[in-house]
Structure 1
């Protein structure tokens, strides 16, 4: 047994050395600027381009490579890059989350991301500052692996992205979204849905050939269903985790989620087959008449024959039954983690605060960025790094000890679904109710159903793992992971509108260990960027460098509404106030204009006659306020 174990260790060492010898440095120079594009053919607009081009370049590396991205920000606003799904083990400062692991990079500044890619599979990169990536700053990141379990099972591969698309700039949409005039928090409705950043694409294929299709939802809001008419496929990867191959015909891909599938083409060239993506219309508060929810692209066997449209109706999504990702089994066979050392239970709520805007909450906290990036606070506060108070109340910090088994129970009190992403980790999918498929929206019309630790379905023995998981409407999910990656990691809904509303919290994982290798991995350039942006990089969440437990002046969420307020009441109050102001202005103008003439008896009576009307209006306002 000892000899066998020694041989195994020797083999692992040899394989590791071989991989190290193959590793190389892959460098990308990104000059980030505005360009113009018209991907749906309906509206030309500014988009974020790289080196004068859009769509953006796909980043491609091999497992074990060193990836270096030199970003120059030539935009007129701040930007960052988050490499979605990259663990950044030992390089937390390269994670790209603004005000969590770095300062946003201001216009005219440079920032270098430099880290080793010891992972495999399908990822993507995107801007991680406020309202940034919906303007086009997002694209695929592929990590090739010569030793994947299915590397010999396909002949060619393709990367396919899907996304929602807005004709207006995000800076123009966001003031209408986070506004007293939108108290319900209704998300902006996209103008189109893109496939590989365009419409009506044909993917040339050869007959009797197996293709690896990498599917990525790089959108900001809407999940999409995916299928290929008259074809099935085998799922072999989710979010960078290899899975035992399972046959399926329909997928539900929320924003930020990825799948790799194997598709074997038919032995014929007499027909082309629709590749169908269907927007999850349940997420949309309204559907404009010109919004096309169902898109047809083609698996093109023969360019010279018909390219038929998929035969669908706009409500077909309600009839689709997608594969349930929680049933997938990772090829590494990692068993269910033991009972947690730390159990974090949070509840999603969508509420209004006293400014009338709609906010998103985990429990009663709407994430509000600190004045100092939280990673830099870890570096600043010494022994107090294990005290969650130094990170501020409104970052909703959780301190994780090194190698703890952590369980997150997320109860969703909202009637919409939420795809949650955890930076720095993938996690086990332990439980979710209701399940995917025809029952996914079962709880949407009733009362929320929270997780009951004493009454739940049996947990899987070998759970699926991924880094983005969807919480059903008014349902819940349970996930587990090991806190084996020291760093400050944000846990957030990946619907970008919801993140802007505050649907996030941070995990400060093994803070004393962060102060070692991670601190050394942050170059001086990163602090220079903070100085250029005018953002402090020392102190607690309030930028206090004298008393780390004094949070006076920290950024805070707005105050709570008085008890009894409702969205309807807010709307009524706002418009009543506007009406009152306009009414007073009209009275003043009318009164001033009347002073040009000598009052007559009739004039006085006319002026006086307005009093009963004003009293009636006030009564209506009061009633609306109570409503």
Structure 2
């Protein structure tokens, strides 16, 4: 989800899902009145029902592969895949209500690609979701595709390749959508990404995981695209500059193994001027990931003093668990009816790991990656919708939802010893409840603990190890929407399913122009795929780039 409209106050820091000041912000959106956006639109506006009029914004991206690429921390990576030569990729900056068009040209030698706009609802625009094998075919080498979508939400999120786990090779970046805010601030510091960085290729990581390797160790953790490397012989710390006496908005966008969340944090520069550490702290049991850099950090710098390396280590956060907080209360309220909730076999999703013949994930007895049944890049779910063919392949792990605007409930149960950040496309969901780790499966005795009245709303939530979540979303957005673990190699190995929501209405929403663009891209992809003999599909196709060079 866009992770907004919530507010949590702790220890003098306001942490909320806010939106910031744009270059052409309306006159009512000022430092003393961030709740206002424009006439008739403010922080209390139900953004799922209405949006302001916006402008059209266009971007042109070229995807290329770079060999022996020097990373921002000074290490050399055998190969990187970048958008316009940038790491991270270019930031999309727009306002609530704008329409964005992004033309993607694929100059990768052997890889297809697709771009998913993580957290964007894509209301009545399923074909723009960028999930190859589900909503479209990959863009073939030498091909181009234009994604066009309207920003019905606001806040901070990100985009990334959804062609296998290709984004781990560098195809990702931030999206900043300006809008009203739940608290006032003086200075918008912009998007601040924090991500794990691997010298190994995405393919190598996936193949190792299929052979039973434990979670990979990142070479580093990068702050705003940079850090010193663990050997100490290259790179530089990222610096966040604070103006004394001012309140600053920092738009955190995390893509660490155990997270994928976004949050807006307000920092008031009211401490002794100096240089301070901002740390990423990883639990000792490594359930949220592990890095060759044991103390990843950036510098928070007061502009009234000289630059320098902080001398104090900082404070370890009180909660080192790989868990979500359920204390965020959305400003725009939503509630589900507890009288309509029940747990059934049909709405219970059980995740297990299977190690024969290679490691893959199984949901309710079916896997999107078991070497014989993988997502077909050249025949997405949309093909079946357009032809009204309901003989969906087992490889899609498809759950159909036909009834309009009803609340649907999903009990997610895991037998895994590690947590899983589960992400839903096309919707924000209500997190009705989450168990403690090792609590076992959900039972009727847990129902009284569920919160149906304006609970925390997300598009990614952590399923605890050997525990459960109960999630709810309203069937108000026709489409084929993927639900998957956002640890790339887990989705690559099958930890995913799809909801096909109101398929008959979805077909009527697809215009002749959209249908032709979809068909042309799929024809180009299938022509490429059928004519080449260099690469093969090694995973589910939903994450990790999924192609390997023979002999590598």
TM-score band by shorter chain is 0.7 to 0.9
- Cα distance change on mapping 1:298 and 1:337 into 2, 3 Å: farther
1:277 and 1:41 map into 2 onto residues whose CA distance is 20
Q: Are the aligned partners of 1:411 and 1:476 in contact in 2 as well (CA < 8 Å)?
A: yes
1:292 and 1:530 map into 2 onto residues whose CA distance is 42
Greater helix proportion? 1
Residue 449 of structure 1 is matched in structure 2 by: 440
Secondary structure of the corresponding residue to residue 146 of structure 2:
strand
Q: Determine if the alignment matches structure 1 residue 102 to structure 2 residue 136.
A: yes
Residue 414 of structure 1 is matched in structure 2 by: 416
Residue 85 of structure 2 is matched in structure 1 by: 52
Q: Are the aligned partners of 2:275 and 2:310 in contact in 1 as well (CA < 8 Å)?
A: yes
Alignment of 1:214-253 (within 5 A): 214-219=251-256, 222-223=257-258
2:61 counterpart (16, 30, 37): 30
Once the two structures are TM-superposed, the CA of residue 261 in structure 1 deviates from its matched residue by 1.5
Q: Are the aligned partners of 2:481 and 2:500 in contact in 1 as well (CA < 8 Å)?
A: yes
Normalising by structure 2, we get a TM-score of 0.78
1:414 and 1:21 map into 2 onto residues whose CA distance is 44
Residue 625 of structure 1 is matched in structure 2 by: none
1:530 counterpart (522, 525, 538): 522
Q: Are the aligned partners of 1:84 and 1:123 in contact in 2 as well (CA < 8 Å)?
A: yes
In terms of Rg, which structure is larger? Answer: 1
Greater strand proportion? 2
Gaps of 5+ in 1: 1-10, 224-253, 435-440, 538-554, 558-627
1:374 and 1:299 map into 2 onto residues whose CA distance is 47
Q: Determine if the alignment matches structure 1 residue 157 to structure 2 residue 157.
A: no
Q: Determine if the alignment matches structure 1 residue 212 to structure 2 residue 249.
A: yes
Normalising by structure 1, we get a TM-score of 0.69
Once the two structures are TM-superposed, the CA of residue 191 in structure 1 deviates from its matched residue by 1.4
Alignment of 1:220-369 (within 5 A): 222-223=257-258, 254=259, 256-266=260-270, 268-269=272-273, 271-280=274-283, 282-283=285-286, 291-302=292-303, 304=306, 306-308=308-310, 311=313, 320=320, 325-338=325-338, 339-340=340-341, 344-353=347-356, 355=357, 357-367=358-368, 368-369=374-375
Q: Are the aligned partners of 1:340 and 1:404 in contact in 2 as well (CA < 8 Å)?
A: no
CA deviation map 1:392-420 (0-9, x unaligned): 12311111122121111001100000000
Q: Are the aligned partners of 1:98 and 1:128 in contact in 2 as well (CA < 8 Å)?
A: yes
Q: Are the aligned partners of 2:92 and 2:174 in contact in 1 as well (CA < 8 Å)?
A: yes
Residue 95 of structure 2 is matched in structure 1 by: 62
Secondary structure of the corresponding residue to residue 534 of structure 1:
helix
Secondary structure of the corresponding residue to residue 133 of structure 1:
helix
- Cα distance change on mapping 1:62 and 1:408 into 2, 3 Å: same
1:20 and 1:422 map into 2 onto residues whose CA distance is 22
Q: Are the aligned partners of 1:283 and 1:416 in contact in 2 as well (CA < 8 Å)?
A: no
Residue 153 of structure 2 is matched in structure 1 by: 119
Q: Are the aligned partners of 2:223 and 2:297 in contact in 1 as well (CA < 8 Å)?
A: no
Q: Are the aligned partners of 2:127 and 2:136 in contact in 1 as well (CA < 8 Å)?
A: yes
Residue 7 of structure 1 is matched in structure 2 by: none
2:479 and 2:473 map into 1 onto residues whose CA distance is 14
- Cα distance change on mapping 1:519 and 1:210 into 2, 3 Å: same
1:198 and 1:375 map into 2 onto residues whose CA distance is 39
Greater alpha carbon shift after TM alignment, 108-117 vs 368-377: 368-377
Alignment of 1:532-551 (within 5 A): 532-534=524-526
Q: Determine if the alignment matches structure 1 residue 192 to structure 2 residue 220.
A: yes
Q: Determine if the alignment matches structure 1 residue 93 to structure 2 residue 100.
A: no
- Cα distance change on mapping 1:498 and 1:281 into 2, 3 Å: farther
Q: Are the aligned partners of 1:38 and 1:45 in contact in 2 as well (CA < 8 Å)?
A: no
Once the two structures are TM-superposed, the CA of residue 104 in structure 1 deviates from its matched residue by 0.8
Identify which of structures 1 and 2 has the higher relative contact order when contacts are C-alpha pairs closer than 8 Å and 6+ apart: 2
Residue 397 of structure 2 is matched in structure 1 by: 396
Once the two structures are TM-superposed, the CA of residue 158 in structure 1 deviates from its matched residue by 2.6
Aligned length: 465
Once the two structures are TM-superposed, the CA of residue 309 in structure 1 deviates from its matched residue by 5.4
Q: Are the aligned partners of 2:64 and 2:82 in contact in 1 as well (CA < 8 Å)?
A: yes
Q: Determine if the alignment matches structure 1 residue 372 to structure 2 residue 387.
A: no
Q: Are the aligned partners of 2:205 and 2:489 in contact in 1 as well (CA < 8 Å)?
A: no
RMSD: 3.0
- Cα distance change on mapping 1:324 and 1:287 into 2, 3 Å: closer
Secondary structure of the corresponding residue to residue 163 of structure 2:
coil
Q: Determine if the alignment matches structure 1 residue 202 to structure 2 residue 239.
A: yes
Once the two structures are TM-superposed, the CA of residue 272 in structure 1 deviates from its matched residue by 1.3
Q: Are the aligned partners of 2:282 and 2:289 in contact in 1 as well (CA < 8 Å)?
A: no
Secondary structure of the corresponding residue to residue 399 of structure 1:
strand
Once the two structures are TM-superposed, the CA of residue 275 in structure 1 deviates from its matched residue by 0.8
Secondary structure of the corresponding residue to residue 326 of structure 1:
coil
Q: Are the aligned partners of 1:403 and 1:484 in contact in 2 as well (CA < 8 Å)?
A: yes
1:33 and 1:556 map into 2 onto residues whose CA distance is 22
Q: Are the aligned partners of 1:127 and 1:133 in contact in 2 as well (CA < 8 Å)?
A: yes
CA deviation map 1:497-553 (0-9, x unaligned): 10001000000000110011135572423322211221799xxxxxxxxxxxxxxxx
- Cα distance change on mapping 1:267 and 1:34 into 2, 3 Å: same
- Cα distance change on mapping 1:409 and 1:310 into 2, 3 Å: farther
- Cα distance change on mapping 1:323 and 1:495 into 2, 3 Å: closer
2:207 counterpart (157, 161, 175): 175
CA deviation map 1:225-245 (0-9, x unaligned): xxxxxxxxxxxxxxxxxxxxx
- Cα distance change on mapping 1:508 and 1:340 into 2, 3 Å: farther
1:493 counterpart (485, 499, 512): 485
